[in-house]
Copies of this chain bind each other. A is one copy, B any other.
Amino acid sequence: MEKRVYNFSPGPAALPLPALEEAQRDLLAMPGAGVSVMEMSHRSKQFTAIIETAEANLRKLLAIPENYHVLFLQGGAQMQFGMVPMNLLRNSGKSADYIVTGTWGKKALAAAKTQGDARAAFDASDTNFNRIPEASELELDPNAAYVHITSNETIQGVQFPTEPDVGDAPLVCDSSSDILGWPVDVSKYGILYACAQKNVGPSGVTVVIIREDLAAESPADLPPMLRYQDLAAGKSLMNTPPTFAIYMVKLVTDWLLREFGDLEKMAEVNRKKSGMLYDVIDGSGGFYLPHAQANCRSIMNVPFRLANADLDAPFLEEAGGVGLAALKGHRSVGGCRASIYNAMPVEGVEALRDFMLDFAKKNA
């Protein structure tokens, strides 16, 4: 078999090997079914067990309160960029506040503006999105329909260490790149949504955790597939869901529960992994430069530049040569980025750390 590399891709990202192995084993025929999971009815007994387990796993890991729906939708986080304002802003007679700490928050705001009065209550573009706001910097409208944040900006590696205080307005959060990376208090959120392809599964499924009363506000002038209330009433089965992607979510969350038990333990490992890389960066005497300010450094995405930009290309090429893949940074930040989601083993980060130390020594 082809040798697997350590995959630092920001997403679609590395998946746990045991989940892939189980999927591979059963790909032609699920035990007891005689057909592939891709070939079975989404209303069959076997698939019902799969989707119910996936939801139960998420509820257990995130301690999701009972008054929240857990939906498996399609379209990625960007479909939520549209659905959130279509459901909660367009007919509300209110405005919505967006706290913009990176590229994805900016895109979410732009999509919301097509639906109504969406405004930036904070925007860190003047410092190339390297920070989160102080409480005093937030220009919040107390009557906002909701306040939107991006808990972890994948490109800039900027992560809220905890939820900002946004008053009484429902907090809506794009948690695409840090969901399941550490514990969160779901009861603080009105909506928590995440595309799967970083920490939850493959691309093609989006997890939307929404408080029941907010789902109930869905206006009538939307088609059913865009109304949270209809989707919740249909329990993600209003039409054929992305069955294979949901099956992978089950396998990934099975693995997380089996391997780590809970998100406290997962967070401990993620802090250890990210800490190793930030230590190399901070201890490099300026050879490697971080992007995010220290108080909001992401435990999932570690963007960094080489002070000598001419070394970017050799760094990436040599890293690739020793099986450390997909480390190129996003063009808006430059340099490199190590995405180290749950499925990245400690050994992979140790290998990258050692490579970085070695590369700095040779090229200092």
A92 within 8 A of B: no
A316 within 8 A of B: no
A157 within 8 A of B: no
Most chain B beta-carbon contacts within 10 A, residue among A15, A39, A78, A81: A39
Task: With A5-B35, A203-B244, A245-B242 as known contacts, state yes or no: A82 contacts B15, CB within 8 Å.
Answer: no
Interface residue from B7, B223, B238, B239 paired with A115 (Cβ < 8 Å): B223
Stretch at the interface among A18-26, A57-65, A275-283, A289-297: A18-26
Q: Is the CB of B28 within 8 A of A13?
A: no
A48 within 8 A of B: no
A244 to B114, CA, bound (A): 31
Query: Shortest beta-carbon distance, A324 to chain B, in Å?
Result: 11
Q: Is the CB of A114 within 8 A of B223?
A: yes
**Number of copies of this protein chain within its complex:** 2
Most chain B beta-carbon contacts within 10 A, residue among A14, A28, A38, A203: A38
Task: With A27-B27, A29-B4 as known contacts, state yes or no: A41 contacts B326, CB within 8 Å.
Answer: yes
A134 within 8 A of B: no
Q: Is the CB of B12 within 8 A of A226?
A: no
Q: Is the CB of B243 within 8 A of A12?
A: yes
Q: Is the CB of B240 within 8 A of A195?
A: yes
Q: Is the CB of A28 within 8 A of B41?
A: no
Q: Is the CB of A248 within 8 A of B33?
A: no
Contact residues in B for A167 (Cβ distance below 8 Å) = none
A1 within 8 A of B: yes
Q: Is the CB of B225 within 8 A of A78?
A: yes
State the interface size on chain A (CB cutoff 8 A).
Answer: 74
Contact residues in B for A20 (Cβ distance below 8 Å) = 27-28, 36, 38
Q: Is the CB of B325 within 8 A of A35?
A: yes
Contact residues in B for A24 (Cβ distance below 8 Å) = 24, 27-28
A303 within 8 A of B: no
Q: Is the CB of B79 within 8 A of A74?
A: yes
Q: Is the CB of B7 within 8 A of A35?
A: yes
A31 within 8 A of B: yes
Q: Which of A170-211 contact B (CB under 8 A)?
A: 195, 197, 202-205
Task: With A21-B28, A38-B15, A224-B78 as known contacts, state yes or no: A204 contacts B242, CB within 8 Å.
Answer: yes
Q: Is the CB of A12 within 8 A of B323?
A: no
Q: Is the CB of A111 within 8 A of B223?
A: yes
Contact residues in B for A204 (Cβ distance below 8 Å) = 74, 204-205, 241-245
Q: Is the CB of A223 within 8 A of B5?
A: no
Query: Shortest beta-carbon distance, A357 to chain B, in Å?
Result: 23
A: which residues have CB within 8 A of B? 1-5, 7, 9-15, 17, 20-21, 23-24, 26-36, 38-42, 74-79, 81-83, 85-86, 111-112, 114-115, 195, 197, 202-205, 220-226, 238-245, 248, 323, 325-326
Which A-B residue pairs are the 3 nearest by beta carbons?
A: A82-B223, A204-B242, A74-B74
